[in-house]
Structure 1
Amino acid sequence: MSDFMESRALLYALRADSWREIKIELEAIFLPNDKGVYCKGVYYWLNKGVPGSKKTVLSFDMSEEVFHSIAIPDHIQKEIGNLRGPTTGNDSIVFFFLLKNSWNSTSFEVWMMVRNREGVPRWSKNLTVRSLVCIYAPLTFWKDDELLMETRDGRVVTYNLHNQKFRQLPT
């Protein structure tokens, strides 16, 4: 017996001003979160799935009108609550994985989706940022080398990955 469940999505065509149904032909239950991101013609969501299921990223290719599933790295599966994203950075899909932190500092890994020569996506740990004092969590890339970060007191600052300096944004 297969785990395959037939799912469908409704697609609205602006030009035709009409809705149509398309099949989602994947072998998993998909319950995407509401925070998706668009990059290079594809929309991505973190798939919450059902309790006990492997967490994945669900993608929808706008031109091909096809859904795909990309597995989250195994070591992150165990601590999925520490995953932030998806977001975009350097023309790729990015997740931030929060590491064990002290009460006043934050460390995290930056995971980017890369494609092999055949175009198959996989996750690559791009860098690790350690012991940022008074930072709650990374939010997104602002520029190629700068992150927007939320402080523990709710402010938003930029953090330059090259010179490792913070800059407070005007309020």
Structure 2
Amino acid sequence: MSTVLEKIDHDAYDDDYIRGILRSVNVIAMVGASSNWNRPSYFAMKYLQQKGYRVIPVNPKDAGKEILGEKVYASLGEIPVKVDMVDCFRNSDAIPPIADEAIKIGAKVLWLQLGVRHDEAAKKAEAAGLKVVMNRCPKIEYGRLSQEIGWMGVNTRVISSKRQRRI
């Protein structure tokens, strides 16, 4: 876990830091998950599920419904299983209470999506022992680090019999 003594550069993450997070988590709570199939959170949730993660949607508007086979919860505190990572698809102003809730439920990671940054909430989460990533997408980082995304934006291997390796 990240400690207060470990200084993370939130403008330039080391690949090993991101890779370590993606390898260490199994259950991801996606705050702001959408049931709308053409929203970025829907694509990210589906992709992460296909990579073996359990992704639990959190969205008060859709609480009690299902998104991609998972029950939607109104808040992090309502999720009945241990959450490893909280992935936030909310604007930066909404992050402080989400960070507080992530700390309260004992999450290991607070991940803020592309365009989302809140330095004070990050400091508070890190002081509580959480690792923090801001302004990044776990779907994109997974694809980049597993080399699914090549320089042309797609997997450049034409045909391969190799079994896909989980980063």
State the TM-score, normalizing by the size of structure 1.
0.25
**Higher strand fraction: Structure 1 or Structure 2?**
1
Looking at CA atoms only, which structure, 1 or 2, has the larger radius of gyration? 1
State the TM-score, normalizing by the size of structure 2.
0.25
> Relative contact order: is structure 1 or structure 2 higher (C-alpha 8 Å, sep ≥ 6)?
2
